[in-house]
Amino acid sequence: MKRIFASLAVCAAATALTATSAFAAENITGAGATFPYPIYAKWAQSYNKETGVQLNYQSIGSGGGIKQISAKTVDFGASDKPLTAKVLEEKGMMQFPMVMGGIVPIINVEGIKPGELVLDGETLANIFLGKIKKWDDAAIKALNPGVSLPSKRISVVHRADGSGTTFNFTYYLADISPEWKKNVGVDASVQWPTGTGGKGNQGVANYVSQLKNSVGYVEYAYALQNNLTYSKMKNKEGNTVAPTMEAFQAAAAGADWTHSDGFYLILANQPGAKSWPMTAATFILLHKKVENPEAIKSALNFFDWAYNNGDAAAEELHYVPFPGSVKSLVRDAWAKELKTADGKSVYMGS
């Protein structure tokens, strides 16, 4: 994770430089979700090499991203918690999905290898509710016959900041557990019944890697890059599935983006024999009334480039790119909704 953070920090340090690209005159500033940070960092490196344009992206969590774009301190905000059409209208913003990925439970239990442990939604909810306190609890043992589980107290790690990853995680738990829905609920920031808070996916990954007998949740790329032990999950169909591209794609397969109002769509607990139950999309937020056309054109050039050239890099990090049909819907929305004060469209096509 340190390597990727450093690479984007280089871009951040260089934001005062003049871009050399023929089609983008300004560098780009953004802030928000940590969920897509690994792929945004990778895209930023490649885009900078190709165009000379720098991307300064602050990985501060979805809540921070929404605040910064609302305050107009960045060109774009990023959030894994989609805003409803009503909220978008109130804020004068549009949103669009950039990429999809999977949220995975991560654990640090001696002797347990990646993918060896199996959890289901009810058990996971009860762990984060503080009702299941030890790794050898009967509910965990029932899901894992033959696995040696220690009689050790579970240390819960959750997000401390406003987080779209938390929104999707709690959405899934609420869909599974009536008790979670009633007592904790769904949001980017909740009153956690138990546990220690880490800032960003990075913070949760770091805590779990250092804290024995712990459990947390992160975007899958963080588990891979930090060599963390993840669990398999029982999905909506009752099948045991591993976090794989195939499983994320299966969960995303039924998503109807054409009829989603303002691209508001949640992918948690989707049906399908192979579906990963905690799959999520990550979104970009822009003000519809464009005050700095050159800056927004520069940002759109980057997003357009990522749609056209970034799928392979996304898949390498186990994100799921969007199909061409969804990308076309997004481009149509750019042309229709992003306009200058005199009513001119900012996006004129790629």
CA distance 78 to 96: 10
Statement: residue 16 has pLDDT above 60: no
The partner residues of 280 in beta bridges, in order of sequence, read 101
Arithmetic mean of pLDDT, 161-168 = 95
- Give the model's pLDDT for residue 254: 83
- Give the model's pLDDT for residue 18: 32
Question: pLDDT per residue over 190-223, tens digit each?
Answer: 999 999 999 999 999 999 999 999 999 999 999 9
Arithmetic mean of pLDDT, 328-334 = 97
**Lowest pLDDT segment from 3-7, 39-43, 155-159:** 3-7
CA distance 222 to 228: 8
Statement: residue 21 has pLDDT above 70: no
Question: pLDDT per residue over 255-296, tens digit each?
Answer: 999 999 999 999 999 999 999 999 999 999 999 999 999 999
What are the residues whose beta carbons fall under 8 Å from the beta carbon of 25, sequence distance 6 or more? 19, 294, 298
Integer angstrom CA distances of residue 306 from 2, 39, 125, 264, 322: 23, 10, 36, 21, 11
Q: How confident is the model at residue 8 (pLDDT cuts 50, 70, 90)?
A: low
Neighbours of 141 (CB within 10 A): 13
Strand pairing report for 289-290 and 279-287: unpaired
Statement: residue 70 has pLDDT above 60: yes
CA distance 341 to 161: 35
Among residues 117, 333, 88, the alpha carbon closest in space to that of 242 is found at 117
* CB contact at 8 A, 161 and 60: yes
DSSP 8-state assignment for residue 263: G
Arithmetic mean of pLDDT, 34-52 = 96
Element (H, E) at 106: strand 93-108
Q: Does domain 2-101+280-340 have CATH number 3.30.1360.200?
A: no
- Give the model's pLDDT for residue 232: 98
- Give the model's pLDDT for residue 10: 35
- Give the model's pLDDT for residue 3: 37
What the block records as the tokens of 77 is 């905000």
Neighbours of 71 (CB within 10 A): 9
- Give the model's pLDDT for residue 349: 79
- Give the model's pLDDT for residue 275: 96
Q: How confident is the model at residue 348 (pLDDT cuts 50, 70, 90)?
A: confident
Question: pLDDT per residue over 96-137, tens digit each?
Answer: 999 999 999 999 999 999 999 999 999 999 999 999 999 999
Statement: residue 1 has pLDDT above 80: no
**Top mean-pLDDT range of 7-11, 15-19, 67-71:** 67-71
Domain extent listing, the chain: 2-101+280-340, 102-263
Q: What is the CATH number of domain 102-263?
A: 3.40.190.10
CA distance 218 to 105: 7
Arithmetic mean of pLDDT, 65-79 = 97
Arithmetic mean of pLDDT, 324-350 = 93
Statement: residue 26 has pLDDT above 90: no
- Give the model's pLDDT for residue 190: 97
Given this chain, do its domains 2-101+280-340 and 102-263 carry the same CATH topology?
Answer: yes
Sign of the dihedral through C-alpha 257, 258, 259, 262: positive
